[in-house]
Chain A
Amino acid sequence: MLLIHCPYCEEARPEVEFVYGGEAHIARPLDPSTYSDGEWEEFLYIRSNPRGRHHERWRHTHGCGRFFNAVRDTVTDVFETTYKAGEARK
């Protein structure tokens, strides 16, 4: 079971308190109607799926309830860092 550091609670807590939220830094366009079908498809479905450093969202559902971002190595599952939503990509 992973230990995940919540940047809001400032504590490492067991994985069962969290819910995974998919790849991070995929902002919803301010006006989706300006997106072409291709761009919208990209936004909806296309993800980077890297081997290695992955920016991803987690929510501390059974804790503070906040969404935050993390950098996790998809090979080792080691968390490099976690940071608050809205902060720049690390």
Chain B
Amino acid sequence: MSGFRLADGGRIDRRTKRTFSFDGKAQWGYAGDSLASALLAQGQMLFGRSFKYHRPRGILGAGVEEPNALVTVDRGPGRMTPNLRAPSVPVHDGLTATSQNRFPSLKTDLIAVNNVFSAFFPAGFYNKTFMWPRAAWEKVYEPIIRRLAGLGDSPTTRDPDHYDATYAHCETLIVGAGPAGIAAALDAAAGGGRVFLIDEQEEIGGGALSDPAQWAWLAEATAKLAAMDNVTVLSRTTAIGHYHQNFVVAAERLTDHLPVGEAHGPREKLWRIRAGEVVLAMGAIERPLVFEGNDVPGVMLASAARTFALRYGVAVGRKIVVMAVHDSGWRDALALQAAGVPITAIVDLRRDIDPALADAARDARIACYPGYAITSVSGSLAVKGATIALAGVGKGQKLDCDAVLMAGGWTPTVHLWSHAKGSLRWDESWGAFLPDKTHENLRCVGACAGAWDFGSGLSVGLLPAPKPLHESKAFVDFQNDVKARDIGLAVQEGFRSIEHIKRYTTNGMATDQGKTSNLNGLQIASDVLSRPVTEIGLTTFRPPYTPQSFGAMLGHHKEALFQPLRKSGIDDWAQAHGAVYENVAQWRRARFFPQGSEDMDAAVARECRMVRSSVGVFDASTLGKIEVVGPDAAEFLNRMYTNPWKSLEPGRCRYGLLLGEHGFIIDDGVSARLAPDRFHLTTTTGGAARVLGMMEDYLQTEWSDLDVWLTSTTEQWAVIAVQGPRARDVIAPLVEGIDLSPEAFPHMAVREGTICGVETRLFRVSFTGELGFEVNVPAEHGRKVWEAIWAEGEKHGAAAYGTETMHVLRAEKGFIIVGQDTDGTVTPDDAGLGWAVGKKKPDFVGKRSLARPDIVAPGRKQLVGLLTDDAQDVLEEGAQIVADPNQPVPMTMIGHVTSSYYSTTLGRSIAMALVAGGRDRMGETLYIPMPGKTISAKVLAPMFYDAEGSRLNG
């Protein structure tokens, strides 16, 4: 119980109390307090347990750099946020916060026993354990580690909040509203351009909030900015990343600072800001020092103690020792002493102290120990004392204290500068990297530019100590529990680059991205390697600057707005008739139409029976469609597709096969020539946009001399497939102006006329093997025409069928689905479609590749049919195929099952497969090893039904 509320001072409102709970216990603070300041004022020093060793931990910093005091805030079901930093959580009435990673309670953590066995988690622990036997990892180590190590729990219920998102444009964006940022904003605003000033804290002011001498200026500047129409000031807004061309993404927290009952509207708002100029005024973060016991609760940054005292009116101890290697520690000590925070001693590794500081400390009756270092801290749950020694190795001397402040120098906050690929230069006097060059219109001002007077100091990282490094328990990365000796071990095991040392030790890889640990880790690696810091390098900072909710990143793009859902004009009818849907390339398609208690198998069996015995109706509107028009249309298609097109008569259709230049099938579809200069192309449902893009590419960049126009008409036409022996009888009463007789309208022909009084392009085509028509009508008439066809169909017992039945029927005929029976490595010949390749054509896209050595080599995987020896075994699509089931594991896999169904028509299962040398294996038995059994199957041609095609004519 060492922290306490000072009698006066701070920016808190002492007339307004706030009540909240921490770990279930009622607590209070003032309006303006952070969770950290309110609890420190109550004497709470213990805030959490560490990641791996469950060591007791207190507050280190007063801002977002805080690595230890991570809390979970519970705002009701689905509103539980873990890993919030206590210094950045404003208190409000009803705030419910709990500490993390402790069991059963903060003070008596049973797992902290683990601390004794800390050798269990040396550097590279994860890498090394991954080398252990897999069974041991899965059954023993991983469960143990999961229980021992970790941060807060992830929420398990749906986030009920919504999140706003917006774009903004401005001439100048300033990130960070401390004195330097505010000055930059005033300067830019005077020019009249649009200015954004954003800051992550509850109020703007940055470092000035902890300096009462600047408060009058701050109030004046804040009022001035607020009065300017061209200035937008956003507090509680974190710039999480800088992206190309001054595109800054920032998250504004709108309601988390309010009591739950007062929080209305979106929880956060994501700003995407494009700025002419970006000014980074992000300040600097003080570095801890690395010494034995530097993680005992009560050991914190000197600048944090200053902020707690001067901004929040809280003293962090009653007998405080400062461990400094930098003038700023002396300045903070003096400011604290003046504010009534009792500083008893300043220990500084430097022998020569600025006389002005030394004199001021003596005048303030602070004991000074120049040339000394702290060698250990006593206390477990709180600081009880510190031992110091001359140069860290002399005779130990005990100092009575309840808090230790560390002043290890300053690290400019260059995160966003690095996001922007700005280069950094090492600055010896700062002992840190400073911004150097950038290609963006971006500059740094104030402390993050190295333009701030914190005084001077050493950059040492590890303090000299009597113990050898490998026995040291001095921590570098508090959040990931990385010790100085872990870095020593990594170097000893051969790691040289900081990128490797970082990953091996996990230094700087926690949620704080090493804000307080990176440079100390680097310095220690440099010392151990006896190489300059600049040769070891700095790890790369990446967005987000601080952890960011997924909700804000998602914004409105969830549920129905996650991605577009495309529906055909007939979709409503399907819904009304009980369709079960599947999504295909953003389209919602009816998969099957169950009747009564039918499951999918029963429904599909019935739908298949009806198509084969009478007639079925299918919504094929999602097929991609492209209108190809112009004098060179036939020439163009001739170059794009493998098939010959110039010879196709108007009124006829052709199955088109499209390859990439690599020679592999990428799309297919039946297309019709309506006139010498006009084609109606169809593509696969998923391939429509891709095919149009590819055709545009050739037309615009390779064959710009061709006079051809391409228009996507996918959504302009509704397509109703009527398939089955009764198909002609169903449409005949509805069609006008088209002679439907087989002689006048043969298979693979197209006719224009009307149906139900609506213009139609009527195709006589079949993807089922039955007599079939595809009725194209303008999309807005689709539902009406569908209903008319359905009414006629019902007279013949028609079934509406979905994509599942379509798949079964086409598989019975061995028709491929591009993307299911092909995978981007299948040539026309592999797929048994060599007949579709125009042998006499001099060229088409992909033709040259069909003569490449690998493409003509024997043994390629070829599409074959498979019939399982047990007719009721339905193979699993994707299952691997072997020739010899008795070979040892790993077996030689010679192919895989691409399509597999139960065929009601045939009363047995059927499958298609890609098998190496497949067409030379006709009649062979192959094997499909599955869990528990091996299925045998015979190879045959992929044609299971009506091989002679007699049914096409009804």
Within 8 A of B (CB), among A22-67: 27-28, 31-33, 35, 37, 40-41, 43-44, 57, 59, 61, 65-67
What is the CB-to-nearest-CB distance from A84 to chain B, in angstroms, rounded to a whole number?
A: 10
List residues of chain B with CB within 8 A of the CB of A32. Answer: 843, 847-848
B530 to chain A, nearest CB (A): 32
Does B588 belong to the interface (CB within 8 Å)?
A: no
| Structural contact, B700 and A85, CB atoms closer than 8 A | yes
Q: Is A19 at the interface (CB under 8 A from chain B)?
A: yes
Residue of B whose beta carbon sits closest to that of A21: B697
Contact assessment for A44 and B849 in the assembled complex, using a CB-CB cutoff below 8 Å:
yes
Can you list 6 residue pairs at the A/B interface with Cβ under 8 Å? A2-B244, A21-B697, A31-B843, A40-B849, A44-B849, A61-B693
Query: When chains A and B are docked, how far (Å) is the Cα of A61 from the Cα of B606?
Result: 44
Q: CA of A53 to CA of B237 in the docked complex: distance in angstroms?
A: 37
| Contact partners of B704 in chain A: CB under 8 A | 85-86
**Mask for B467-479, Cβ within 8 A of A = 1, else 0?**
0000000000000
| B852 partner, pick from A2, A27, A37, A75, beta carbons under 8 A | A37
The residues in B between 648 and 699 inclusive whose CB is less than 8 angstroms from any CB of A are 661-662, 693, 696-697
Does A1 sit within 8 A of B, measured CB to CB?
yes
Which residues in B have their C-beta under 8 angstroms from that of A19? 693
CB distance from B695 to the nearest CB of A (A): 12
B274: chain A residues within 8 A (beta carbon): 3
Q: Does residue A17 face the partner (Cβ distance < 8 Å to B)?
A: no
Contacts of B701 in A (CB 8 A): 57, 67, 85-86
Say yes or no: A33 contacts B843, CB within 8 Å.
yes
List 8 extra interface pairs beyond A3-B244, A44-B662, A85-B701, CB under 8 A: A21-B697, A27-B702, A32-B847, A44-B661, A57-B701, A66-B700, A85-B700, A85-B704
CB pair B697 A59 closer than 8 Å? yes
The residue of chain B having its C-beta at the shortest distance from the C-beta of A24 within the complex is B701
* Chain B hits for A15, CB < 8 A: 244
Question: Does B737 sit at the interface, judged by CB under 8 A?
Answer: no
A28 engages B702 (CB within 8 Å):
yes
Which chain B positions have C-beta within 8 A of A9? none
Would you call B693 and A59 a contact (CB within 8 A)? yes
Report if A40-B244 is in contact (Cβ < 8 Å); known contacts: A66-B700, A67-B696: no
Is B840 engaged at the interface, CB distance under 8 Å to the other chain?
no
State which size class the interface on A falls in. Answer: 20 to 34
Closest chain-B Cβ to A30's Cβ sits at a distance in Å of 9
| B410-459 at interface with A (beta carbon < 8 Å) | 421, 439
- Give the complex CA separation of A2 and B245 in angstroms: 6
B439 x A78 contact (CB < 8 A): yes
Residues of A close to B700: CB separation below 8 A: 66-67, 85
Bound form: Cα–Cα A67–B695 in Å: 12
Q: Which of A3, A21, A75 is within 8 Å of B245, CB to CB?
A: A3
Q: Tell me how far the C-beta of A90 lies from the nearest C-beta in chain B, rounded to whole angstroms.
A: 16
* CB-based contact A40/B693 at 8 Å: no
Cα-based distance from A65 to B272 in the complex (angstroms):
26
- Interface: B121 (CB within 8 A): no
The reply to whether A37 and B853 contact each other, CB–CB distance below 8 Å, is yes
Ranked nearest first, the 5 interchain pairs of A and B with the lowest CB-CB distance are A32-B848, A76-B439, A67-B700, A2-B244, A28-B702
Complex alpha-carbon distance, A41 and B852, angstroms: 9
With an 8 A cutoff between CB atoms, is B369 at the interface? Answer: no
A-B contact count (CB 8 A): 58
A61 partner residues in chain B, CB cutoff 8 A: 693
The interface residues of chain A lying within 8 Å CB-to-CB of B847 are: 32-33
For chain B residues 470-505, which have a beta carbon within 8 Å of chain A?
none
Q: Check B247 for interface membership: any CB of A closer than 8 A.
A: yes
Least Cβ–Cβ distance between B287 and chain A, in angstroms:
31
Q: Which residues of A contact B852 (CB under 8 A)?
A: 37, 40-41
Q: Does B842 contact A (CB under 8 A)?
A: yes
| Residue B243 CB within 8 A of the other chain | yes
In the complex formed, the residue of B with least CB distance to A27 is B702
Contact call A33/B693, Cβ cutoff below 8 A: no
**Measured between alpha carbons, how far is A65 from B709 in the docked complex, in Å?**
13
A79–chain B nearest beta-carbon distance, Å: 9
Q: How far is the CB of B218 from chain A (nearest CB, A)?
A: 34
In the complex, A66→B247 CA distance in Å?
25
**Contacts of A41 on B, CB cut-off 8 Å?**
852
**Chain A residues within 8 Å of B843, by CB:** 31-33
Q: In the complex, what residues of B have CB within 8 A of residue A35's CB?
A: 848
A75 vs B437: C-alpha distance when bound (angstroms): 14
Chain A residues positioned under 8 Å from B245 (CB to CB): 1-3
State A8–B849 Cα separation when bound (angstroms): 34
The answer to whether residues A28 and B661 also contact, given A19-B693, A40-B849 and a CB cut-off of 8 A, is: yes
With both chains docked as a complex, state the minimum distance between the C-beta of A52 and any C-beta of chain B, in angstroms: 13
The answer for the CA separation of A76 and B423 in the assembled complex, in Å, is 11
| Docked CA distance A72–B683 (Å) | 34
Q: Which of A33, A40, A66, A77 contacts B842 (CB 8 A)?
A: A33
B853 lies within 8 A of A1 (CB): no
B840-895 at interface with A (beta carbon < 8 Å)? 842-843, 847-849, 852-853
Least distance between B783 CB and chain A CB atoms (Å): 30
Residues of chain B contacted by A65 (CB below 8 angstroms): 696
Cross-chain contact of A33 among B421, B662, B697, B848 (Cβ < 8 A): B848
Residues of B within 8 A of A31 (CB): 842-843
Question: Chain B contacts of A28 at CB under 8 A?
Answer: 661, 702
Give Cα A43 to B846, complex, Å.
12
**What CA separation (Å) do A19 and B247 show in the bound complex?**
19
Residues of A with C-beta under 8 A to B272: 1
Indicate which residue in B247, B439, B696, B697 contacts A1 across the interface (CB closer than 8 Å): B247
User: In the docked arrangement, what's the CA distance between A27 and B193, Å?
Assistant: 46
Report how far A19 CA is from B696 CA in the complex, Å. Answer: 13
Task: Point out the residues of chain B lying under 8 angstroms from A77, CB to CB.
Answer: 244, 421
**Chain A positions within 8 Å of B702 at CB level:** 27-28
What residues on A are CB-neighbors of B244 within 8 Å?
A: 1-3, 15, 77
Which of the listed residues A15, A32, A44 has the most CB atoms from chain B within 10 Å of its own CB? A32
Q: How far is the CA of A47 from the CA of B930 in the complex (A)?
A: 42
Q: How far is the CA of A86 from the CA of B701 in the complex (A)?
A: 7
A40 to B853, CA, bound (A): 12
Residues on the A chain within 8 Å of B697, using CB: 21, 59, 67
Give A68-90 interface residues, CB cut-off 8 Å to B: 75-78, 85-86
For A59, the chain B residues whose CB sits under 8 A away are: 693, 696-697
Considering only residues 230-273 of chain B, those with a C-beta below 8 Å from chain A are: 243-245, 247, 272
The chain B residue sitting closest to A76, CB to CB, is: B439
Distance from A1 Cβ to chain B, minimum over Cβ atoms (Å): 5
Q: How far is the CA of A78 from the CA of B440 in the complex (A)?
A: 9
Q: Within the complex, what minimum Cβ distance (angstroms) separates A22 from chain B?
A: 10
Q: Is the CB of B247 within 8 A of A40?
A: no
B 699-722 to A, binary, CB cutoff 8 A, 1 in contact else 0 = 011101000000000000000000
- In the complex, how many angstroms separate the beta carbon of B689 from the nearest chain A beta carbon? 9
Closest chain A residue to B274 by CB distance? Answer: A3
Provide the bound-state CA to CA distance between A11 and B697, in Å: 21
Chain A residues with Cβ below 8 Å from B842 are: 31, 33
Complex: chain A residue closest to B420, CB-CB: A76
For the complex, give the distance between the alpha carbons of A66 and B700 in Å: 8
| Nearest-CB residue, chain B, relative to A41 | B852
B896 CB to nearest chain A CB (Å)? 26
Q: Considering only CB atoms, which chain A residue lies closest to B848 in the complex?
A: A32
- Scan residues 84-123 of chain B and give those whose CB is less than 8 A from a CB of chain A: none
Pair A40/B848 contact, Cβ less than 8 Å: yes
Complex Cα spacing A44 to B853, Å = 14
- With CB as the reference atom, state the residue of chain B lying closest to A85: B701
Min CB–CB distance A41 → chain B (angstroms): 8
Q: How many angstroms from the CA of A60 to the CA of B504 in the assembled complex?
A: 44
A62, chain B: closest CB distance, angstroms: 11
A62 and B247 CA atoms in complex are apart in Å by 20
Chain A residues whose CB sits within 8 angstroms of the CB of B696 once the complex forms: 59, 65, 67
* Nearest CB of chain B from residue A47's CB, rounded to whole Å: 14
B704 to chain A, nearest CB (A): 7
Complex Cα distance, B91 from A4, in Å, reads: 45
Bound CA span A2–B826, Å: 36
Of chain A, the residue at the smallest CB distance from B272 is A1
Q: How far apart are A32's CB and chain B's nearest CB, in angstroms?
A: 4
